[in-house]
Chain A
Amino acid sequence: MKLYDLPDARGHFGPYGGTFVAETLIAALDNLRENYLRLKDDPAFQQELAYELAHYVGRPSPIYFARRITEKAGGAQIFLKREDLNHTGAHKVNSTVGMAMVARHMGKKRVIAETGAGQHGVASATVAARYGMECVVYMGAEDVKRQAQNVYRMKLLGATVVPVESGSRTLKDALNEAMRDWVTNIQDTFYIIGTVAGPHPYPMMVRDFNAIVGKECVVQMPEMCGRQPDAVLACVGGGSNAMGIFHPYIPHESVRLIGVEAGGEGINTGRHSASLSAGTPGVLHGNRTYLLQDENGQIIETHSISAGLDYPGVGPEHAWLKDTGRAEYVSVTDEEALQAFHDLCRMEGIIPALESSHALAHAMKMAADMRPDQILLVNLSGRGDKDMATVAAHMGMVV
Chain B
Amino acid sequence: MSRIASTFAHLAQAGRKALIPFFTAGDPDPASAVPMMHALVRGGADILELGVPFSDPMADGPVIQRSSERALVHGTSLTQVIGMARDFRKTDNTTPVVLMGYANPIERMGYETFATAAQQAGIDGVLVVDYPPEECEDLVACLRAHQIDAIFLLSPTSTDARVQAVGRLASGYVYYVSLRGVTGAGHIDTNEVATQVARIRHHVSVPVGVGFGIRDGATARAISAVADAIVVGSRVVLEIEAGGAVDGAARIEVVMQEFRSAMDSGTAH
Q: How far is the CB of A359 from chain B (nearest CB, A)?
A: 28
Q: How far is the CB of B167 from chain A (nearest CB, A)?
A: 13
Complex CA distance for A176 and B182, rounded to whole angstroms: 11
Residues of A within 8 A of B119 (CB): none
Complex CA distance for A158 and B79, rounded to whole angstroms: 47
A366 within 8 A of partner (CB): no
Chain A CB within 10 Å — which of B58, B132, B135, B152 has the most?
B58
Task: Assess whether A184 is in contact with B134, with CB atoms less than 8 Å apart.
Answer: no
Query: Of the candidates A180, A184, A295, A298, which one forms a contact with B58 in the assembled complex, judged by CB atoms under 8 Å apart?
Result: A180
Query: Of the candidates B57, B75, B103, B109, which one forms a contact with A20 in the assembled complex, judged by CB atoms under 8 Å apart?
Result: B103
Query: In residues 128-168 of chain A, which contact B (Cβ within 8 Å)?
Result: 166-167
Q: How far is the CB of B208 from chain A (nearest CB, A)?
A: 14
How many A-B Cβ pairs are below 8 Å? 124
A40 within 8 A of partner (CB): no
B54 within 8 A of partner (CB): yes
Q: Across the two chains, which residue of chain B brings its CB closest to A281?
A: B107
Task: Assess whether A297 is in contact with B109, with CB atoms less than 8 Å apart.
Answer: yes
Task: Assess whether A19 is in contact with B132, with CB atoms less than 8 Å apart.
Answer: yes
B27-62 to A contact mask, C-beta < 8 Å, 1/0: 000000000000000000000000000111111111
Task: Assess whether B58 is in contact with A285, with CB atoms less than 8 Å apart.
Answer: yes
B104 within 8 A of partner (CB): yes
Residues of B within 8 A of A26 (CB): 132, 155, 157-158, 162
A183 within 8 A of partner (CB): yes
Complex CA distance for A283 and B60, rounded to whole angstroms: 17
Contact A284:B157 (CB < 8 A) given known A18-B135, A19-B135, A296-B77: no
B69 within 8 A of partner (CB): yes
B99 within 8 A of partner (CB): no
Complex CA distance for A293 and B77, rounded to whole angstroms: 13
B72 within 8 A of partner (CB): yes
Q: How far is the CB of B206 from chain A (nearest CB, A)?
A: 16
Residues of B within 8 A of A184 (CB): 180-182, 185
Residues of A within 8 A of B108 (CB): 280, 282, 293, 295-297
Task: Assess whether B103 is in contact with A283, with CB atoms less than 8 Å apart.
Answer: yes
SS of A interface (majority) = mixed
Complex CA distance for A24 and B58, rounded to whole angstroms: 12
Task: Assess whether B55 is in contact with A27, with CB atoms less than 8 Å apart.
Answer: no
A23 within 8 A of partner (CB): yes
Contact A297:B155 (CB < 8 A) given known A20-B131, A24-B59, A285-B58: no
Complex CA distance for A163 and B77, rounded to whole angstroms: 28
Query: In residues 275-333 of chain A, which contact B (Cβ within 8 Å)?
Result: 280-286, 288, 291, 293, 295-300
Task: Assess whether A283 is in contact with B107, with CB atoms less than 8 Å apart.
Answer: yes
Contact A296:B78 (CB < 8 A) given known A24-B181, A27-B157, A284-B104: yes
A179 within 8 A of partner (CB): yes
Q: How far is the CB of A108 from chain B (nearest CB, A)?
A: 15
Complex CA distance for A20 and B131, rounded to whole angstroms: 5
B196 within 8 A of partner (CB): no
Task: Assess whether B132 is in contact with A166, with CB atoms less than 8 Å apart.
Answer: no
Query: Of the candidates A284, A286, A297, which one forms a contact with B78 in the assembled complex, judged by CB atoms under 8 Å apart?
Result: A297
B245 within 8 A of partner (CB): no
B105 within 8 A of partner (CB): yes
Chain A CB within 10 Å — which of B55, B65, B157 has the most?
B55
Query: In residues 170-221 of chain A, which contact B (Cβ within 8 Å)?
Result: 172-173, 176, 179-180, 183-184, 186
Task: Assess whether A24 is in contact with B153, with CB atoms less than 8 Å apart.
Answer: yes
Task: Assess whether A296 is in contact with B180, with CB atoms less than 8 Å apart.
Answer: no
Residues of B within 8 A of A280 (CB): 108
B229 within 8 A of partner (CB): no
Q: How far is the CB of A316 from chain B (nearest CB, A)?
A: 13
Residues of A within 8 A of B5 (CB): none
Task: Assess whether B105 is in contact with A297, with CB atoms less than 8 Å apart.
Answer: yes
Residues of A within 8 A of B59 (CB): 21-22, 24, 179-180, 183
Q: How far is the CB of A349 from chain B (nearest CB, A)?
A: 42
Task: Assess whether A166 is in contact with B65, with CB atoms less than 8 Å apart.
Answer: yes
Residues of A within 8 A of B57 (CB): 176
Chain B CB within 10 Å — which of A22, A167, A288, A295 has the most?
A22
Complex CA distance for A314 and B155, rounded to whole angstroms: 29
Task: Assess whether A176 is in contact with B181, with CB atoms less than 8 Å apart.
Answer: no
Task: Assess whether A10 is in contact with B132, with CB atoms less than 8 Å apart.
Answer: no
B152-164 to A contact mask, C-beta < 8 Å, 1/0: 1111011100100
Task: Assess whether A179 is in contact with B58, with CB atoms less than 8 Å apart.
Answer: yes
B129 within 8 A of partner (CB): yes
25 contacts between A and B (CB under 8 A): A20-B103, A20-B131, A21-B59, A21-B130, A22-B130, A22-B153, A22-B155, A23-B132, A24-B59, A24-B155, A26-B155, A26-B162, A27-B155, A27-B157, A166-B62, A166-B65, A167-B69, A179-B58, A184-B182, A186-B157, A282-B103, A293-B108, A297-B107, A298-B54, A300-B55
Counting from the closest, the 7 A-B pairs by CB-CB distance are: A297-B108, A27-B157, A297-B105, A184-B181, A296-B77, A283-B103, A23-B153
